[in-house]
Structure 1
Amino acid sequence: MTAQNSDNSLRLSVLDLSPVASGSSGRDALNNTLDLARLADDLGYHRYWLAEHHNTALIASGAPEVMIGHVASVTKRMRVGSGGVMLPNHAPLKVAETFKTLEALHPGRIDLGLGRAPGTDSLTALALRGSREALNADDFPEQLSDLLSFFSGEFPRNHPFQRIVAIPNGVEAPEVWLLGSSDFSARLAGQLGLGFAFAHHINPEPAMDSLRLYREYFRPSDYFAEPHSFVGVSVICAPDDDEASTLAAPIDLALLRLVQGRYSPLATVEEALAVDYSAQEREAIRHNRQRLFTGSPETLRARLSAFAKEAGVSELMITTMTHSHAHRRRSYELLAEAFQIHQSAIK
């Protein structure tokens, strides 16, 4: 996929982690997701993905396959999918049947984004998978091969699963994307002809090289005839640069807490600004800001357009975490206006 000549043609999408803010509940977070999805659909965002994380008080999105159905039911136009399903946590047949069911109910709108990380700590991963034998990440290519075979109905000869049919029958497979924050998934997605989504918000440094490798390794498939990739970026947009930077203070604190193993709800701006950070922590915050885009609509239009051009993509998936749901809504509204995505979506 090549970069577009005009930033007006840049597609924007949403990655929603269903963040839990201090003073609120997981139920509030999931209801906020449905509210944000309706807004994003009206504003012209291209797709809406739900994350899979476990055993954390910060994020309420533990069952993206459930939320996909709800989001697709309250929206009309956007593609809806997982960002992603952590395949090592699930049996490939179960994933295939879940997403064929979603595709049957919402035809032409479902994406299956797949990751190979557990989305949690090792003990929780063990509890999810129910077997120590299933904790090997090296099994991911084999799991993925089985999943794709359940979608196509074509297993290699003498494969033990070749007589198993993923139901419901007569349903097209969803779009399949691999998620990654390194070059492993980039190469594999290219070799299999799948879409590739790079998680810049997790690990920004390898982004450009991974996207280049994906394009180099790409081979056409029944899913995509040519490379399709986009980048997930963390963004906070506000009327001016200073306010956007201030609204990012809870993210600064949350990232520090994650490294320290402290999984607490997202702090308020006032709580985050009141923390007496050490010199080492302030340096960590400065480093973490490399994975976060903040600014006014004008600032972010310029920065994100330049970033997309450098990455060679025509779509960015925006994840925004603020303590206030109203501020999160406003951030997506301002971005949509800056990039005029409503006009692009209805063309």
Structure 2
Amino acid sequence: MGWSVIDVPLSVLDLAPVAASGTTSEALAHTTALARRTEQLGYHRFWVAEHHNMPAIASAAPPVLLAHLAAATSTIRVGSGGVMLPNHPPLVVAEQFGTLEALHPGRIDLGIGRAPGTDQATALALRRTMAGLNAEAFPQELAALIGYFRGDPGPITATPGAGQMPAIWLLGSSGFSAQLAGTLGLPFSFAHHFSPANTLPALALYRQHFRPSVWLDKPYAMVAVNVVCADTDEQAEWLSGPAGLSFLRLRSGRPEPLASPQEAADYPYTEFEREFVRQRRDGQAIGSPATVRKALTALREQTQADELMLTTLVYDIDDRVRSFELVMTDPDDDQ
């Protein structure tokens, strides 16, 4: 459950980052090692996200990676944070996650996003048709996906899929998915880590529109937040440099593998770029265990989240593992 002062489950979102000096094989091996270690530490769930055409991220195929992670662990829930539904026919997603649920009953989460999460050319290459790429079709495609899991009568039966429904979540960074999740009575995960200004309005919409369902009697909201925890505030600041540079390069249309902390420190930022990176840090929890604990406690109190999901983008896997270890440190051990 994490610290008693936070008193909510803590979970993990991992991006399988590819270091500038590494390979995708190493990145996926590191993600596997992190899943095992966070399971040992008591984290509640471990999610990976769908990203395409991004050299810095190796999680292009969440169902494949999740099958591996579930087999490499035994108790932690594993899931997608998320699968971008506009990129895939609902039947394919139902068969993939029905298979995962059949292999690992009761441990699979299907977090679903409304946007393609990539450029239009890549999204078109994934679906090979513009049909389904319009986010306005999301409610209908979501309904079709849920119908496959329920085994609704029709000409097509998802096998696996029908009768093997994973835990379904809606993901969002604005109000649309928040309102839809509430209307359907689904759990909702908000991307505070890249849209902090929208966090409170979206959570308010979710709770305002919530209707009890077969899944939930009352709202259940999770908030994802960037965390870099190190022995000192100064070390955490140093380790957080590559994430800021990576996001800057992504928004500039030139994504690259994750730089080292020294490369990030040496990068010739313009004043505009420095301000962009500074704004990117809003809402993050970066520092020593005490500093991070204070930030997470404040976020929990501000959002009234039922669960916090931590994502840590640093260059070295040992620093990534260490960050999650320090987050679970007993506060009395800091004295």
TM > 0.5 between the two?
yes
1:119-178 Cα shifts (integer Å, max 9, x gaps): 2111000100101233211111110010111112236xxxxxx23222137743111000
Supply the distance in 2 between the matched residues of 1:22 and 1:32 (Cα, whole angstroms).
14
SS of the aligned residue for 2:223 comes to strand
2:284 paired residue number: 292
2:215 paired residue number: 223
1:40 paired residue number: 38
Say whether residues 1:323 and 2:315 are aligned partners: yes
Relative distance call for 1:8 and 1:293 in structure 2 (3 A) is: closer
Higher RCO by CA contacts (8 Å cutoff, separation 6 or greater): 1
Letter in 2 for 1:124: T
1:85-132 Cα shifts (integer Å, max 9, x gaps): 100111111111111111111111110000011121110001001012
Supply the distance in 2 between the matched residues of 1:107 and 1:186 (Cα, whole angstroms).
27
Q: 2:168 aligns with which of 157, 176, 186?
A: 176
Say whether residues 1:259 and 2:257 are aligned partners: no
The alpha carbon displacement at 1:292 in A equals 2.4
1:92 paired residue number: 90
Structure 2 unmatched runs, 5+:
none
Letter in 1 for 2:260: T
Letter in 2 for 1:30: L
CA RMSD of aligned residues (A): 1.7
The alpha carbon displacement at 1:339 in A equals 7.2
Letter in 1 for 2:205: L
Q: Could you tell me the TM-score, scaled by structure 2's length? A: 0.95
Letter in 1 for 2:82: G
1:152 paired residue number: 150
1:312-339 Cα shifts (integer Å, max 9, x gaps): 1131111101111110010011002247
Letter in 1 for 2:284: L
Letter in 2 for 1:232: A
The alpha carbon displacement at 1:8 in A equals 5.0
Say whether residues 1:271 and 2:263 are aligned partners: yes
Map 1:88-167 to 2 at 5 A: 88-154=86-152, 162-167=154-159
- 1:103, 1:171 within 8 Å by CA — same for their partners in 2? no
1:184-231 Cα shifts (integer Å, max 9, x gaps): 000000001111000011211010111111111111111222211100
Letter in 1 for 2:60: G
- 1:301, 1:338 within 8 Å by CA — same for their partners in 2? no
Supply the distance in 2 between the matched residues of 1:180 and 1:308 (Cα, whole angstroms).
18
Supply the distance in 2 between the matched residues of 1:170 and 1:121 (Cα, whole angstroms).
32
Identity of aligned residues (%): 50
SS of the aligned residue for 1:191 comes to helix
The alpha carbon displacement at 1:6 in A equals 4.7
Map 1:231-242 to 2 at 5 A: 231-242=223-234
1:243-288 Cα shifts (integer Å, max 9, x gaps): 1011111112111111111110010011111112111111111111
Supply the distance in 2 between the matched residues of 1:205 and 1:66 (Cα, whole angstroms).
33
Relative distance call for 1:212 and 1:339 in structure 2 (3 A) is: farther
Q: Could you tell me the TM-score, scaled by structure 1's length? A: 0.92
| 4+ residue segments displaced more than 3 Å | 169-172
